[in-house]
Structure 1
Amino acid sequence: MAGHPPGFLALVNEAKSRIREVAAAELPALLKQNPAIRLIDTREESEYAAGHVRGAEWIGKGVIERDIESKHPDHDTPLYLYCGGGFRSALAADALQRMGYTQVVSVDGGWRELKSLLPTE
């Protein structure tokens, strides 16, 4: 968590107290067990373009609240969100839960760890 300002970290920690998280190392097995999982990359579009988990859909944190219902209207769809390390995805997961999504999970470790665990594009 070094390098992040204290106000941001407080916001992230508060969000993390309300959401579900999985460690990045758990994600490959979860994806095999449940093909209904939708993996969403919440990083900036330029980060996604530079590399992402194969099959992940880009819906950036800046637009996810606006775009999620048109892309995933079923609020019971399992949505697994990742970012660079797990902070932005935690904030996005918190927002989606408040919008009524019931199966939102943030991937702790994010792209930093996922790129060595899953195929990438």
Structure 2
Amino acid sequence: MSRRAERRSRLGPLRWLRLPLAVAMLALAALMLLPPGWFGMGGIAPELLTARLAGARPPLVVDVRTGPEFAAGHIDGALPVPLHTVPFRVGELGAHKGRPVVLVCMSGHRSRVAGLFLRLAGFAEVINLDGGMAAWRAGGLPLAGPPR
């Protein structure tokens, strides 16, 4: 059996997905390069977020990093929703549409992409953590361990 035939048999009916997946990945990469204002959401400094979390109307914190990144340390009470699952979990987050939503990733790029999905889904107040978890850690702010 030739190498080409062997690859075809391994991929089977899924081989037609290669092009759409490649296009989707390129589109996400392009979105990550856009300036923050293009997404129509504001930012919040880590220190201000700690104050808002202690306030009367705390925002929902959604962490869009991968599972291992989240497990290594996250903001207490953050909901883990990895970026690649955001489009499929927008409905699940819909119960929080009336609440401000703060999106968190390592540097602030992936959370901007997630913010676009939430804005398109009708979330009114979507906020990006300025500098992401890197800025949170640099500020010496508290981290929670694995989710309880």
Confirm or deny: 8 A CA contact 1:75 1:101 kept in the other structure: yes
1:20-64 per-residue CA deviation (whole Å, 9 max, x = no partner) reads: 111223211121224431111110112112221121110111111
Q: Is 1:12 aligned with 2:12?
A: no
Cross-structure match for 1:26 = 48
Equivalence map 1:16-55=2 (5 Å): 16-17=36-37, 18-55=40-77
* C-alpha contact (below 8 Å) 2:102/2:126 kept by paired residues: yes
User: In structure 1, the residue corresponding to 2:118 is in which secondary structure?
Assistant: helix
Residue of structure 2 in register with 1:59 after alignment = 81
Q: Which residue is equivalent to 2:24? A: none
1:99 and 2:124 aligned = no
Compare relative contact order (CA 8 Å, sep 6+) and give the higher one, 1 or 2: 1
User: What residue in structure 1 maps to residue 141 of structure 2?
Assistant: 117
Contact map agreement 1:15 1:90 (CA 8 A) in 2: no
Aligned-partner Cα distance in 2 for 1:40–1:34: 19
Q: Judging by fraction of residues, say which structure has more helix.
A: 2
> Aligned AA for 2:60?
R
Q: TM-score, normalised by structure 1?
A: 0.80
Q: What's the offset of the Cα at 1:113? A: 2.0
Question: Could you state the TM-score of these two structures normalised by the residue count of structure 2?
Answer: 0.67
Rg larger for: 2
Q: Any conservation in 1 of the 2:64–2:103 contact (CA below 8 Å)?
A: yes
| Runs of at least 5 residues in structure 1 that lack an aligned partner in the other structure | 1-6
Counterpart Cα distance in 1 of 2:72 and 2:111:
18
Partners of 2:75 and 2:143 within 8 A in 1: yes
Q: Which one has a larger percent strand, Structure 1 or Structure 2?
A: 1
The sequence identity of aligned pairs, in percent, is: 25
Separation in structure 2 between the aligned mates of residue 76 and residue 68 of structure 1, nearest angstrom: 14
Whichever residue aligns with residue 117 of structure 1, its letter is L
Q: How many residues align?
A: 114
